[in-house]
Structure 1
Amino acid sequence: MRIIVVDDHPLVRNGLRAILAKEEGIELVGEAESIQEGKALIERAKPDVAVVDIRLGGESGYDLVKAMRHQPCAFMMLTSSSSETDIRLAQESGADGYVLKEAPPEELLLAIKMIGKGRKYFDQSLLGTLLRKDPDDPLEKLTPKEREVLGALGEGLSNGAMARKLVISEYTVKKHVSRIFQKLNLNDRTQAALFAQAQGIGSYSLRDKLEGGSV
């Protein structure tokens, strides 16, 4: 996977360079400090993923994303900002991910790999807040049965346990789970469980997962 970094802070670029150099299958093919340099680098290097700071001196990294969305390149915003406004701007600009600079290296690498495979990744610590503050109630997108399945996901139940609780087949459970992911733009069961918690549904926790709870 070919990666470029667009950030105006040398220390950040040096840190990313060190992290990426240790990961097999990832190649850092260029660095840039401004939007103009970033555009030229994307056109020249043809990266799979561009890691972009949202503030590039007096410029906005979102402008780079908007200008280069026509390129076969995914964009991950890497920033120290956890504001709701910046997260929403990232979504509106077409960014594929949003990760805080304080994230551990393993999370950064996970995000890059997921985004490189065509998936979305938004920092898990921000997911609940973002969804909870959505001006349009996301639960309105779900049918009554899908809400029940979401609640079961929030409890960390397996497909089999959900089928027994809701008195439906496991096949039907899988169909509901797939539709929930699609309607709420979620990637996996963990995100669905976190979303359910943010909405006050279910009682799943990461501790349950670490102790062997079903997700």
Structure 2
Amino acid sequence: MKIVLVDDQTLIRKGLISFLSLQDMMEVSGEARNKQEALSLIQRENPDLVIVAFHLGEEWGLEVITEARKRGATCKFVILIYSKDPMSFQYATVMDVEGYISLEAHPEELIYALQMIQRGRKYYDPDIIDQLIQSQNSPHMDNSHVNLLTSKEKEILQKLGQGFSNKQIAENLYITENTVKKHVSQVLSKLDLGDRTQAALYANVTGLVQYKHEVLV
């Protein structure tokens, strides 16, 4: 199985490369630190599997998956997560990734997960499944809170869910970046969310963004 690693943390990349290189039937064909490097590497190497961190510094690992699929990538994807957040897991399942693995996992668990994925199955960290069950009644999972937003704020929230930056939202909706910032602040306040990443997850988990895989030919 040909693997590409995408993580902004050098120590994590090197550690995974060292460990995976010892495994039979697994070959790490490249590593990337950010979205642009990852997309170029995926296109060049055509791997079987891409292990990508949920957060890539100020970028978002899920954006790598979105853009790679748009460019025609058919490889499998595994999300590498630092903290077990039920909302990020929900988003990962919406993206239909093959795996969701915590950095706290034991090496044997990682290998087991990759072997399962190689055989065509999915692997989700069992601890996050337990957390998800416990959080099913969380108010953040209830899309009725969206009714608190104005129509423009809903548009902003949808764009956040699609991974747009403030500049991209401003250009798309023909408003200023300063206006976008004000709307984002209102969205976070009304929905009691901590940051724009949580807002993006909320938009996807509650169905405001209907994600579709696109393949360009």
TM over 0.5: yes
Q: After superposition, where does 1:112-127 map in structure 2 within 5 Å?
A: 112-127=114-129
Aligned to 2:5, the other structure's residue is in SS state strand
Aligned to 1:28, the other structure's residue is in SS state strand
Unaligned 5+ segments in structure 1 are 136-215
Q: Alpha-carbon deviations, 1:68-91, whole Å to 9, x = none?
A: 234120000112120111111111
Q: Alpha-carbon deviations, 1:154-190, whole Å to 9, x = none?
A: xxxxxxxxxxxxxxxxxxxxxxxxxxxxxxxxxxxxx
Distance 1:35 1:95 in 2: 17
Q: After superposition, where does 1:39-188 map in structure 2 within 5 Å?
A: 39-69=39-69, 70-134=72-136
Distance 1:68 1:131 in 2: 31
Cα drift, residue 128 of structure 1: 2.2
8 Å Cα contact 1:4/1:29 also seen in 2: yes
Match of 2:6 in 1: 6
Distance 2:92 2:55 in 1: 12
Distance 1:40 1:91 in 2: 25
Distance 2:95 2:78 in 1: 11
8 Å Cα contact 1:5/1:13 also seen in 2: yes
Cα drift, residue 36 of structure 1: 0.9
Change (3 A) 1:109 1:78: same
Distance 2:127 2:104 in 1: 11
CA RMSD of aligned residues (A): 1.4
With the length of structure 2 as denominator, give the TM-score of the two structures: 0.59
Cα drift, residue 101 of structure 1: 0.4
Aligned to 2:47, the other structure's residue is in SS state coil
8 Å Cα contact 1:54/1:77 also seen in 2: yes
Unaligned 5+ segments in structure 2 are 138-217
Cα drift, residue 121 of structure 1: 0.6
Change (3 A) 1:113 1:60: same
Cα drift, residue 134 of structure 1: 4.2
Distance 1:45 1:38 in 2: 10
Distance 1:112 1:103 in 2: 12
Report the count of equivalent residues.
135
Q: For CA contacts below 8 A with separation 6 or more, give which structure has more relative contact order.
A: 2
1:7 maps to a residue whose letter is: D
Q: Give aligned-pair identity as a percent.
A: 36
Aligned to 1:23, the other structure's residue is in SS state coil
Change (3 A) 1:68 1:94: farther
Match of 1:27 in 2: 27
Distance 1:111 1:71 in 2: 21
1:92 maps to a residue whose letter is: V
Distance 2:99 2:33 in 1: 20
8 Å Cα contact 1:65/1:75 also seen in 2: yes
Distance 1:68 1:94 in 2: 14
Cα drift, residue 37 of structure 1: 0.8
2:96 maps to a residue whose letter is: G
Cα drift, residue 100 of structure 1: 0.5
Q: Alpha-carbon deviations, 1:50-72, whole Å to 9, x = none?
A: 00001101100011112223412
